[in-house]
Structure 1
Amino acid sequence: MFNSEQRFLLHYRAGSLANVLERLKLHGYAVEKTNATFLQITLRLNSEEKLHQLQQIDAITAVSLAPMQSSIYK
């Protein structure tokens, strides 16, 4: 599944951002950015094992591939 590092979008339960970030840091995940308004965290993964480990964090409600960022600058 993984040929290179991929960006994923995590959705988490309201009020659990600090707990989720602590767990991600503890397990060595590299968080790219957070969006508390939409209850989202963007991170990069390079292995299927790391993707499966996210299932152990109860406050995470969904995981999906993050949309591609445009490389065009205005």
Structure 2
Amino acid sequence: MRIAILPLASFLALCAAATVCAAQAVLKEEPAKGVLRVGEVVYVDDGSCPPGELKKITGGNQKAGKTRLVECVKRPDGL
């Protein structure tokens, strides 16, 4: 019985840790250039988008020819 509980407990702990790591905060200002990794997404509520929307910023890399994308999107669930 004890052997069956250990893998289950490990799995549940891993799921809980992944959920906490996946949580995303809303920033008050846009991160400086070069701070975000390519493809990393952050949400910013700096008042530049219409009410009920946030600024979605996707990191880029000038050397790789990928520009930083900035767009206003509806506030995602859970943020």
Shorter-chain TM range is under 0.3
TM-score (norm 1): 0.26
Asked which structure has the greater RCO (Cα within 8 Å, sep 6+), the reply is 1
More strand per residue = 1
Q: Which has the larger radius of gyration?
A: 2
